[in-house]
Structures are given as structure tokens and as C-alpha cells.
């Protein structure tokens, strides 16, 4: 007897700590219970046979109401209830996610001579994403080894590592820590945070898109994100410039940062290839 229900997202993830409220046809509450870590609620309260309204609520999700019929046995089999994320966007389940550097890219693009672009990337980095029940309280932290810059040209990389630019001997790490998140669309957010680079800490916003979640071949669950930002070198005390013919700067003052990130659910990375 009682109530049985499973609360899920559209992607099939369990919704823990959802609240299921049952009212009779007069609107009187007759039962209220919360789901467990598996998104399941089982309550043994005996209910009088007849129709009832079942209302499911959870932080960050649009509430759902449906009708359930209690049989002569006193049981209400609600079955699966699917909740939609408020704003229409499904996200990975809350908890820690670890950035997988082997399947992620941290890149930057600078203008060269005013006519073309130089693409670079950092090959050594790591980080953690903490997705909160209240999505806007989610956090991200990342650390990049500044000496891992790679533009495909050894001489240029050596110059970028020098005191003219990253000064990797004195500042071996580039850090980013978020401090807020605001919606920017149905599947996009603006991540507010602070970037530490070349001994300077400045506020930097990331424009973040969530690309989806799925199982990987190594038994893990992965979430994919893409993020972009624009930085001005002068903001981080990298003022070196070489002016060539016709007053054109050799290297542009603006950097476009492009991040393609895969994060694995949990505190560590599974064996992967």
C-alpha cells in the first residue's frame, strides 16, 4: 500500500530530494514525501481508494502535477515522473565532475600582422566542475601550466614563455575560479570568475554552452562543454609589442580563448584512451 514513484530528468537522471505531495479532490494534503538518492519515493501510508492529485517539485525544475488513481489495495502507482529543468535546459546530475585533459582543448587565438591568426593551445591543465542542485551556484576551478603553451613554432613558443609574455619561470600557473553563473539562453550561461595570469588577477567572464552528456567506453559518464572569452594582454601586464611596417602591430592586443571541455562524473578519471 502507499505511494511508489520514480522522479527523473528528461535525460533519465535521478532527481534526489524532490518532494512529492499528494492531495485529494478537495485539495487537502494527504501525503508528502521526498525522493531518495536514486530519485525514488516509497511511502507506506494507506490511502482511501479514489482519484488524487500528485505534485512533484524540485529545486531548479518546473513542477509537475498529474492525477493518480488509488486502487482498492490502497496503492498509488505513479511510475516515472519526468521533470524539465526550469528554462528548458537539461544538465548533468549535481555533484563533482573532473576535467579530462586528454579529451579537452584549451586554446587561444591572436591576430598576427593584422591579416592572419596564430592559434595556440596549452597541453597541461586540469580542473574540477561542481554542479549544484541550484545550477546558478555551480562552480568551476582550473589550473593551466603556462609553460605548456604550443603554437607549433618553437621560437615563437620560447618568446611566449619569456618575461615579455607569460614569464613561465616566475608565474608557472594560470588559474581560473568561478564565483557566479547567470543564464544566457536555453543551453547557455555566462560564468563569472577570476583569471590569474602573469601575476595579475582580473575578472573574466566565460560564455558557456552545454553540449550534452553520455556514457564513455571506459565505464564513466561524460559531460561536454564549450566556452569562449576575450582577453586583453594589457590587462595582465603583457605589454610587449613590436610595430612593423605601416604601424601594424606584429601581435594583436586581444586574445580569443576557446575551450572544448569533457568532464567525467566523480572525483577522478577512469582509465581511458
The predicted-structure confidence for 136-159, as pLDDT tens digits, reads as follows 889 999 999 999 999 999 998 998
Q: Supply the pLDDT for residue 245.
A: 45
Q: Supply the pLDDT for residue 4.
A: 85
Q: Mean pLDDT score of the chain, rounded to an integer?
A: 85
The predicted-structure confidence for 70-129, as pLDDT tens digits, reads as follows 888 888 778 889 887 765 556 788 899 999 999 999 999 887 544 567 889 999 999 999
Q: Supply the pLDDT for residue 234.
A: 86
Residue ranges and CATH numbers for the domains of the chain are: 2-83 (2.60.40.10), 95-265 (2.40.128.110)
Q: Supply the pLDDT for residue 167.
A: 95
Q: Supply the pLDDT for residue 92.
A: 80
Q: Which residues pair with 4 in a beta bridge?
A: 42, 77
Amino acid at each position: 500500500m502507499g505511494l511508489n514513484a520514480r522522479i527523473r530528468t528528461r535525460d533519465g537522471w535521478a532527481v534526489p530530494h524532490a518532494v512529492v505531495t499528494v492531495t485529494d479532490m478537495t485539495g487537502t494534503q494527504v501525503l508528502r514525501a521526498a525522493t531518495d538518492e536514486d530519485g525514488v519515493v516509497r511511502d507506506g501510508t494507506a490511502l482511501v481508494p479514489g482519484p488524487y492529485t500528485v505534485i512533484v517539485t524540485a529545486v531548479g525544475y518546473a513542477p509537475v502535477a498529474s492525477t493518480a488513481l488509488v486502487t482498492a489495495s490502497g496503492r498509488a502507482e505513479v511510475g516515472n515522473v519526468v521533470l524539465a529543468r526550469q528554462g528548458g535546459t537539461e544538465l548533468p546530475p549535481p555533484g563533482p565532475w573532473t576535467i579530462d585533459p586528454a579529451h579537452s582543448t584549451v586554446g587561444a587565438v591572436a591576430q598576427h600582422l593584422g591579416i592572419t591568426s596564430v592559434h595556440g593551445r596549452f597541453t597541461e591543465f586540469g580542473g574540477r566542475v561542481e554542479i549544484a542542485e541550484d545550477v546558478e551556484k555551480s562552480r568551476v576551478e582550473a589550473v593551466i601550466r603556462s609553460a605548456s603553451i604550443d603554437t607549433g613554432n618553437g621560437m615563437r613558443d620560447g618568446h611566449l614563455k619569456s618575461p615579455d609574455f607569460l614569464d613561465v619561470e616566475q608565474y608557472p600557473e594560470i588559474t581560473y575560479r568561478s564565483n557566479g553563473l547567470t543564464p544566457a539562453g536555453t543551453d547557455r550561461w555566462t560564468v563569472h570568475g577570476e583569471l590569474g595570469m602573469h601575476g595579475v588577477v582580473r575578472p573574466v567572464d566565460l560564455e558557456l554552452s552545454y553540449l550534452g552528456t553520455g556514457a564513455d567506453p571506459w565505464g564513466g559518464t561524460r559531460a561536454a562543454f564549450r566556452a569562449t572569452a576575450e582577453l586583453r594582454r594589457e590587462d595582465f601586464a603583457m605589454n610587449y609589442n613590436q610595430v612593423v611596417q605601416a604601424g601594424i602591430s606584429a601581435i594583436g592586443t586581444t586574445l580569443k580563448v576557446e575551450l572544448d571541455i569533457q568532464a567525467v562524473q566523480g572525483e577522478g578519471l577512469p582509465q581511458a584512451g
